[in-house]
Amino acid sequence: MSKALELKLYSPAGSDPDVYEWPLTCGRGATSGAVELVETIRWVCQEFPEIVMESNILSSYDTNSYESMKSLVDEYNNTIDAFLQRAAHTTRPDARFSTTQRRTSRNLLRHILQQVYVHAVTNPSKLNQYEPFSPEVYGETSYELVCQIIDQLNITEEDTFLDLGSGVGQIVLQVAASTCCKMVWGIEKSDWPNLFAEKMDLHFKRLMRWWGKPYGEYQLINGDFLDQRHSDKINSASVIFVNNLAFGPNLDHQLKERFAELRDGVRIISSKEFCPINSRLSERNLSNIGTIMQVSKLSPPQGSVSWTGKSVSYYVHTIDRTKV
């Protein structure tokens, strides 16, 4: 039996090469492997200016020809080899991998997370096996919306981020890679998202090593976020994300009870407000959660979630007991 053909793409950080089996059928699409390989080379050319590529390296290739793609990969690998050899003999060890030591840019991180998703979520139809309009309804929040949340909340190294109902873990990985958060948690109880989250975790760590990019500490947890065993995580978080648009009144009420115990300054981002914006205090509503929350509205971009093409509003609730 003949040995399977493969293409090995060298890492600009000197990590293990990324291996593509021929034919280049990766994930869900017949051509996605070829697209991923070519786009990865393109991103290396863009993100690592100290790696001098031939200007025409991506000018001519045939994704249906093994010889053509091998020639492209060989040319790329020779350039990476030369760069790594020069870096190994530099007199300034602190400058050898100046680009790889920096946090990944947002555009590159989007490419990495797309790679991770394609490799990990091999059967996305399994994510839609839920009872409509139940608390288990599954939906993914867009990359752009998470960027907006990170910018508006100005997340720092003092923050701890918690995603309640984290699905396959995309938000957790994005926050861990693009902020200085001291800890990022995600809690998900549904079986299929958890199965894919395990694979997301493995592929994310592999690709971040390949790119030589740092990321913060994170953990994807299989469990029910209402379980008392996770109360300490909710109580210690300074930023909490919850996609509660399809949650019923009972689950929302239980979350409000948890949030009523949070310390001042904690920020909660949700797709459905837990209390009205600009709610006024009166003797009749002193026991409501709105008495300790300041609420503002985000204006997310179109397509901010996966289950609808309509714009979904998100709300930022800040715990503030000075209102009482």
pLDDT digits (tens, 9 = 90+) for 27-59: 544 447 888 999 999 999 988 888 888 777 888
The CA–CA distances, whole Å, from 92 to 87, 95, 96, 98, 238 equal 9, 5, 7, 10, 40
**How would residue 286 be classed by pLDDT, with cut points 50, 70 and 90?**
very low
Q: Where are the alpha helices (DSSP H) in the chain?
A: 32-47, 66-88, 106-120, 143-153, 170-178, 191-211, 231-236, 249-259
The CA–CA distances, whole Å, from 197 to 96, 168, 223, 297 equal 34, 4, 13, 30
Residue 320's nearest CA partner among 284, 275, 283 is: 275
**Tell me, what's the pLDDT at 29?**
47
Q: Which two tokens stand for residue 277?
A: 């914006």
**How would residue 135 be classed by pLDDT, with cut points 50, 70 and 90?**
very low
pLDDT digits (tens, 9 = 90+) for 75-129: 999 999 999 998 888 755 554 455 556 889 999 999 999 999 999 998 888 886 6
**Tell me, what's the pLDDT at 129?**
62
**How would residue 307 be classed by pLDDT, with cut points 50, 70 and 90?**
very low
Q: Characterize the bridge pairing of strands 218-222 and 239-242.
A: unpaired
d(CA 130, CA 229): 25
**Tell me, what's the pLDDT at 137?**
45
What are residue 296's DSSP bridge partners? 316
Report field, pTM of the whole predicted structure over 0.85: yes
**Tell me, what's the pLDDT at 136?**
47
Domains and their CATH numbers in the chain: 6-95 (1.10.260.60), 108-319 (3.40.50.150)
